[in-house]
Structure 1
Amino acid sequence: MLEIADIFRACGPAWRRTVALSLGQLKVMSAIEQCRSAALGGHVLRCSGCTRTEFFGEYAQLADREAFARWLAPLRASEWFVYAKRPFAGPEAVLAYLSRYTHRVAISNQRLLALDERGVSFRWKDYRENGRTRLKVMALEPGEFMRRFLLHVLPTGFHRIRHYGLLVNPVRRANPAKIRSLRGVAPKLSSSPYEAAVVDQPTFICRHCGAPMLVIDILTRTVPIRAPPKKTRQ
């Protein structure tokens, strides 16, 4: 079965040399190509010797530190604000739209059909139509497919979901333990060796420069995200 990783492995290296991507997008591409995902479990590494931000295409000149600072200066002085207006279909339509993205990946492997001379073919759902015509097939050039996929990668500093109440950041570590204590519930033991492991010295070496690779994130194996229940006709 065709997978997202197959597309990125086959077309990603050449495409990366022609476009400008953020560090977050490059990390996602690397994780997909190495099959290091939250579903499979694993870890994220960073080289302590050769890690640096790269620029491509029309932004290649920004690799110079002073040029990058000059380019960034007017952006820092800008007064940024969020443009928002009342949705025509009401808040229910907004929640229905957002729910399709907050707890899902951009596209699942089950929707992929082929990677051939036409490009990447996949199924998609047209929510403006009903019945059999709602499910359609689209074919995109591999570069365009990867570009649209990486649009779902949030910029550094942004969070997909923010928690409030008992799970708010300053107290989220203490509150669950206190709640378990009050309810008399024992904490759940970790089944992942990565969660309990304490690494004092790096055990991975960069294949490019020989510097030690630092573990910067742990990806624990999670339960696969299930599809929403199908609606039954009355």
Structure 2
Amino acid sequence: MPEDCPKQWVVDCKDVGNGDKAIIYLGRYLYRGVIREQDILQCENGMVTFRYLHAKTGQYRSRTVTGEYFLYLLMLHVLPKGFRRARCYGFLHPCSKKLICFLQMVLRVNPLNMFAKKLKERPTITCPVCGAAMKIVLTKIAKPPAKQVHLPYMSEHGEIVM
């Protein structure tokens, strides 16, 4: 073991049950779900009532749907195989731009020098008529046509619509 580790340990082990509470705690801590438990208001007779925050008004609304449709709504948030969910905390959080600037100042790091792409020198383009140097004022690269993908979805009545 490294020298700076303590030589003696104090271990306080207590029986806390079968670990259900630990799994619930870790599940909340490690992965924020689509909907919180307290937002599921009622689940009876195959119908689920839940509340959600309306994006445009910022007000809570409730909605009652079939259990199958509720599961369908949840599954819309499951990433496809091979994709990874990225969540950033601390100075990597998108709202931490001021903190990042402060850290760059303290560490004396110039991000422009670190990440600037070095452009390759291009030969001068000359006019075929007069031989003068030409300046590029606009470039346009045509986008390839997007493929339209139509995915099946489930209606509120539990029917799959193609």
TM-score (norm 2): 0.34
TM-score (norm 1): 0.24
Larger Rg: 2
Give the number of the structure whose residues are more often helix, by fraction: 1
Q: Which has the higher contact order (CA 8 A, sep 6+)?
A: 1
